[in-house]
Amino acid sequence: MSNLTPTAERATPPLLGQARATSAFLARPARIFRAYRTADLRPDLLAGLTVALVIVPQAIAYALIAELPPQMGLYSAIAGAIVGALWGSSNHLQTGPTNAASLLVLSVLLPLAAPGTPEYLAAAALLTLMVGLFRAGMGLARLGMLVNFVSDSVIVGFTAGAGILIAINQLRHLLRLPFPSDPDLIDTLADTIRYLNQTHWASLLLGLITMAIVWGIQSINRKRRRGKLPLPGPLIALVAASVIGFIMQLEGWGIKVIGVIPRTLPPLAHIPLTDLRLIGDLSTGALAIAAIGLVEAMSIARSIAGQSRQRLNSDQEFVGQGLANIASAVFSGYTCSGSFTRSAVNFAAGARTPLASAFSGMFTLIAMLAFAPLAGHIPLSALAGVLIITAIGLIDRDEMARIWRSAGGDRIIMVATLAATIFLPLQFAVLTGILMSLAHYLLRTSTPRVRTVLPDDRFEHLTHQPEKPSCPQLGIIEILGDLYFGAAHHIEECIERNQIENPSQRFLLLRMQSVEQVDISGIHALENIMRSFRDRGGDLFLTRVRAPVSQVMTASGFMEGLGADHFLPQDDAVSQLFHKALDPATCIYECPVRAFRECQDLPKNLYEAGAGGTRITLPSLDAKTLNSVPAITPQELWRALHTPTPPAVVDVREPREFQRGHVPGAVSLPLPTLLGSLNGTAGEGVPTALPAGRPLVLVCRAGRRSRRVAALLASQGTTDVKMLQGGMLAWEAARLLQALEENA
């Protein structure tokens, strides 16, 4: 039999695997056409035609926002729709010019060149190409998951800020005021007020009429039956304004119009690829536009996929958005992204495959070639009116109010992004929002909740109940988050704080069911916690440790250091610790709390005893005093008992414990009786003194009770008193236990 691994099972070389992944991304159109059904052609064509009716006025209007010629908006709509559909992942996402992208383009380009100049157009083409390369590169590098790290609060805050900026910037076109665009909001407002006395009233009137038409159609759409396609308000309003401008020759009235739109196929653009200085100047803005555009596109695609039940591939969508921008740059367009309005229309119109969006680009090309002369008569004030209404629609007041009422972190991110969008250069505003979103995520994951838990009243579940008293010996803490380098210090501090608040708790049970990941920093934190409790004479135990975390603990050596027996099953963890680790003396004589099920039947000898009513308790002693108590090993005691002068052995356990087995010759003097004897409150028939004249050895179950009594006796002047190291557990482990007969 051959030992060779079958070819299908061999590991794929990294370079070959990357080449295959790249070819799979680029071969997306082949898969679309191969799976296409003729039954989908008619609904896709109708949906494409419907979307084209919306694209044409939007493309022209959005180009106006970016201070670019209107035909560039149409070129971008054509190339972006076709390429974005064929190489993207979504069946319904419609790619082309958008409000946000146009405003970002304006913000990036204005400091570099004057609108309308060849330098401005060349910079726009280079910017679009760079955005496309950034997006495609991120997709090919499989970085689609990065969009998950951008909060929705960033998008809501940015779009609201963009809406405010667009509305204010369009006031100069609505009023036909003679000052140039300015990326600064304050300067734009100041110029608007300064030139307000030069308002062109005919342009304002036409713009207001256009706005009224759009508002009216929006009102009609809201009242239409759900499921029916909305009337294209902006298209109807702009066609009406264009017809009026064509018939009445409004240019003669001083109303500015778009002007001549070329009736040609999109030409190849001149892109200054060798201008390294310009590339450097555009790099920050290109990265910001690439990031916000990808988040915008994926948000839209996911929103519609939630209704269409389509599975999306974010990496493929990144590639599609990147290639769409590259194609737009090559064919004289400008930056494009996914449009929510057009994507929603595409879905509502019955689109079934990505070809519907590709058809919308083709229909846009036909419309441009056929109706370019009419579109050239669209008044700029009418376009400004449409854009102002669209900009107002970007301010999602309901969603902003919802975020404001929710978590404080989301509220801060939204407000900060909104303020940065309004007052900072937009590329920095976007990056500010993204960085704040990432910082919020890191802050939240680096400070997971670390809380104490106790059994509920039915002892069925462990829950956070800070109002209940905790066990003075055992603390139970659960970690609600990953134990990685960012959170390790916080978790350590929380547990240390709990130690300070509960100094008597020497044992800790950590519940790890919510810890999905642990790294070496987390392992170091657990080791520090383990050492801290062991230095106090206690120990650390874990329960509900997940398999991936357990693997890291094993590989790092932590499991061996802690001990495999310290990983306890969830159902028996408290019971095992109660019977094998906790000090019964503390439970019986010092602790009034019945925190666990096991405490319920435990005798609590916290009572008033003797005629004087003296309270019998085991005094608290400091660790130094307790650690100074001399001990004798089971083997040493055994040998001492077989000498001519054996020590006196006093067993301070309960009678039922003593009956199960004890050291030969030991005297049973339960702790309450012993304390009563020491306090002079013992009842009649109870010994009033310990055996005298011989060395004294105190015995209990594990050594805790006997250590305390020995320390107490030593503090009262008793000499030559020791405790049995490890108690009866150690005596039994040494096979020295002499069991009593049942009737003895």
Report pLDDT digits (tens) over 234-261: 778 878 887 877 777 776 778 887 777 8
CATH of the domain at 533: 3.30.750.24
Task: Give the pLDDT mean for 549-555.
Answer: 94
Indicate whether 516 belongs to any domain.
yes
Residue 441 maps to a domain: no
Q: Helix crossing, 314-330 with 14-26: angle to 10°?
A: 60
pLDDT at 585 over 70: no
Boundary (domain end) residue, out of 572, 588, 610 = 572
Shared domain for 548 and 629, answered yes or no, is no
Residue 463 β-bridge partners? 454
Helix (H) or strand (E) holding 614: strand 614-615
Rounded Cα–Cα distance for residues 480 and 468 (Å): 21
222 pLDDT band (50/70/90 cuts)?
confident
Q: Residues 487, 363: one domain?
A: no
Q: Examine the domain organization and report whether 564 and 626 are in the same domain.
A: no
Long-range pairs of 594-600 with CB within 8 A, sequence gap ≥ 24: 595/454, 595/455, 595/468, 595/469, 595/470, 595/471, 596/455, 596/459, 596/471, 597/455, 597/459, 598/574
CA distances from 436 to 413, 417, 424, 645 (A): 6, 9, 15, 78
Q: Which DSSP state fits 339?
A: E
Digit-coded pLDDT (tens) for 357-375? 999 999 999 988 888 777 7
b vs e for 12-34, b when ≥16 Cβ sit within 10 Å of the residue's Cβ? eeeeeeeeeeeeebeebeeebee
Q: Is residue 423 part of a domain?
A: no
Q: Are residues 321 and 214 in the same domain?
A: yes
- What digits encode the pLDDT tens for the residues 17-56? 567 767 888 899 999 999 999 999 998 998 888 888 778 8
The distance between the two most distant Cα atoms of the chain, rounded to a whole number of Å, is 132
Do 493 and 561 fall into the same domain? yes
User: Helix, strand or coil for residue 150?
Assistant: coil
Residue 426 pLDDT grade (very low, low, confident, very high; cuts 50, 70, 90): low
* Chain centre distance of CA 543: 25
pLDDT digits (tens, 9 = 90+) for 335-358: 999 987 788 778 877 889 999 999
Per-residue confidence (pLDDT) for residue 554, from 0 to 100: 94
Residue 686 pLDDT > 50: no
Exposed, middle or buried, 258 (CB in 10 Å: 0-12/13-18/19+)? Answer: buried
- Is 132 inside any structural domain? yes
What Å distances lie between residue 680 and 331, 600, 651, CA to CA? 104, 31, 20
Q: Distances from the Cα of 294 to the Cαs of 58, 148, 300, 440, 717, in angstroms?
A: 20, 11, 10, 20, 80
Last residue of a domain, one of 507, 541, 572: 572
Quick one: pLDDT at residue 325?
Answer: 97
End of a domain among 372, 396, 420?
Answer: 396
- Rounded to an integer, what distance in angstroms lies between the CA atom of residue 460 and that of residue 95? 55
Confidence of residue 96 (pLDDT cuts 50, 70, 90): very high
Instruction: Tell whether 565 and 627 lie within a shared domain.
Output: no
Backbone angles phi, psi at 391, to 5 degrees: -65, -40
pLDDT higher than 70, residue 12: no
Kindly report the backbone phi and psi dihedral angles of residue 114, in degrees, each rounded to the nearest multiple of 5, phi listed first: -85, 135
For residue 652, what are its two tokens? Answer: 């301070």
Q: Are residues 104 and 245 both part of a single domain?
A: yes
> Quick one: 382 and 498 in the same domain?
no
Q: Return the residue matching tokens 């056409």.
A: 33
d(CA 496, CA 174): 65
Distance between CA atoms of 167 and 170, rounded to whole angstroms?
5
Quick one: tokens of 53? 């009716």
Q: Do 360 and 238 belong to one domain?
A: yes
Give me the helices (H) in 633-726, please: 634-641, 655-660, 671-679, 704-715
Q: Which residues have a Cβ under 8 Å from the Cβ of 214 and sit 6 or more positions away?
A: 233, 234, 237, 385, 386, 389
Q: Are residues 566 and 624 in the same domain?
A: no
Please name the helix (run of DSSP H) or strand (run of DSSP E) that holds residue 96, with its range, or none. strand 94-96
State yes or no: pLDDT of 121 exceeds 90.
yes
Reading the block at residue 106, the tokens are 């304006």
Asked if residue 602 belongs to a domain, the reply is no
Interatomic CA distance for residues 637 and 663, integer angstroms: 9
Q: Is residue 589 part of a domain?
A: no
- The domain of 134 spans 41-149+193-396
- 158 located within any domain: no
The reply to whether 298 falls in a domain is yes
For residue 707, the model assigns a pLDDT of: 84
> What CATH number is given to the structural domain containing 642?
3.40.250.10
User: Can you read off the two tokens belonging to residue 145?
Assistant: 């998951």
Give 167's contacts (C-beta < 8 A, 6+ positions apart): 387, 388, 391, 392
Give the span between the Cα atoms of 337 and 290, in whole angstroms: 9
Same domain, 119 and 259: yes
Task: Give the DSSP H or E segment for 511.
Answer: strand 507-511
The pair of structure tokens assigned to 696 is: 């004294």
Counting the structural domains of the chain, the total is 3
Give the residue among 497, 465, 464, 490 at the shortest CA–CA distance from 478: 464
Give residue 555's identity as a one-letter amino acid code.
Answer: A
Do 699 and 710 form a contact (C-beta atoms < 8 A)?
A: no
Nearest partner of 351 among 653, 726, 50, 663, judged by Cα:
50
563 and 641 co-located in one domain: no
List the Cα angle 476/725/496 in 5-degree steps: 25
Rg, C-alpha atoms of the chain: 40
Q: Which of 444, 544, 530 is nearest to 487 (CA)?
A: 444
Q: 152-169 vs 426-446: helix axis angle to the nearest 10?
A: 160
pLDDT band at 273; cut points 50, 70, 90: very high
What pLDDT sits at residue 592?
Answer: 75
For the chain, give the percent of residues with pLDDT over 90. 34
